[in-house]
């Protein structure tokens, strides 16, 4: 049994992101995993970071991460990034020196040392664009940034990234195929 911390970032309970969340939770619970789901919109998370020390809410989220084996992010990609509420959560919660620190090499140069080693991350993202456009014209920017610029820096190297393209334009049958991928991912977490 694994403890899974889900960070959910979509405002609409009828969205395909909600279907991903519900499918993942149901499948993972049926397999015996324990789920802790944070719905950023329902909890009215304030994503604005102004350099303040972590408050109770951020410290609570960090504690929940510490107690988990797996972190799951579920959100759409808007303008080549997750919604501001998720990006702000990343900035506030997965921040140094808690999630990573820098080891000085010389002068102003250093490299990050992740403090979240041993954890796994799963990212489910939906896109309005077709896969071809994201992979060719935009060089997989969201994937690279989340994998390398967020999780790898935090020490999480086991990252599963599932993307669902052209979601507003696909058939219900295609959406069901997408949800089968979510189920398989939950079964193999």
Stretch 136-153: mean pLDDT, rounded?
79
- Percent of the chain topping pLDDT 90: 81
Stretch 89-116: mean pLDDT, rounded?
94
Stretch 105-132: mean pLDDT, rounded?
90
Pairing mode of beta strands 3-8, 34-39 = parallel
- Per the CB < 8 A criterion, the answer to whether 143 and 163 are in contact is yes
- Percent of the chain topping pLDDT 70: 95
What are the tokens at 96? 């140094």
Q: What does the pLDDT look like over 15-70, one tens digit per residue?
A: 999 999 999 999 999 999 999 999 999 999 999 999 999 999 999 999 999 999 99
- Per the CB < 8 A criterion, the answer to whether 143 and 77 are in contact is no
CA nearest neighbour of 143 among 77, 65, 90: 77
The conformation of residue 14, written as its DSSP 8-state character, comes to T
Q: How many residues does the chain have?
A: 189
What are the tokens at 13? 């309970």
Confidence class for position 133, pLDDT limits 50, 70, 90: low
Neighbours of 188 (CB within 10 A): 9
- Separation of alpha carbons 24 and 3, rounded Å: 13
Supply the CATH number for residue 78's domain: 3.40.50.360
CA nearest neighbour of 127 among 79, 184, 94: 79
Token pair 């610029």 in the structure block, residue? 149
Answer whether residue 140 shows pLDDT above 70: no
pTM, rounded to two decimals: 0.93
Residue-number span of the structural domain to which 134 is assigned? 3-187
pLDDT at 106: 87
- Separation of alpha carbons 21 and 29, rounded Å: 12
Q: What is the dihedral of CA 52, 56, 59, 61, to 10 degrees?
A: -120
Q: H-type helices in 108-171, by residue range?
A: 131-132, 141-144
CA geometry: angle 127, 129, 134, nearest 5 deg: 90
Report the number of distinct structural domains present in the chain: 1
- Tell me whether the omega of the peptide bond preceding residue 97 falls within 30 degrees of 0, making it cis: yes
Stretch 137-151: mean pLDDT, rounded?
78
Answer whether residue 184 shows pLDDT above 90: yes
Stretch 137-141: mean pLDDT, rounded?
64
- Separation of alpha carbons 138 and 40, rounded Å: 27
Confidence class for position 139, pLDDT limits 50, 70, 90: low
Answer whether residue 175 shows pLDDT above 90: yes
């Amino acid at each position: 049994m694994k403890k899974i911390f889900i960070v959910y970032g979509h405002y609409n309970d009828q969205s395909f992101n909600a279907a991903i969340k519900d499918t993942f939770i149901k499948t993972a619970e049926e397999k015996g995993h324990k789920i802790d789901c944070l719905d950023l919109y329902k909890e009215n998370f304030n994503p604005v970071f102004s350099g303040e020390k972590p408050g109770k809410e951020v410290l609570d989220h960090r504690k929940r991460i510490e107690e988990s084996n797996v972190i799951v992010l579920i959100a759409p990609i808007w303008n080549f990034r997750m919604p501001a509420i998720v990006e702000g959560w990343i900035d506030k919660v997965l921040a140094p020196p808690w999630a990573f620190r820098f080891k000085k090499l010389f002068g102003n140069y250093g490299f990050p040392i992740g403090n979240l080693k041993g954890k796994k991350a799963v990212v489910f993202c939906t896109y309005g664009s077709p896969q071809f456009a994201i992979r060719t014209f935009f060089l997989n920017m969201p994937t690279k940034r989340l994998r390398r610029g967020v999780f790898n820096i935090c020490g999480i190297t086991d990252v599963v990234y599932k993307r669902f393209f052209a979601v507003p334009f696909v058939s219900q049958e295609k959406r069901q195929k997408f949800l089968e991928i979510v189920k398989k991912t939950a079964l193999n977490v």
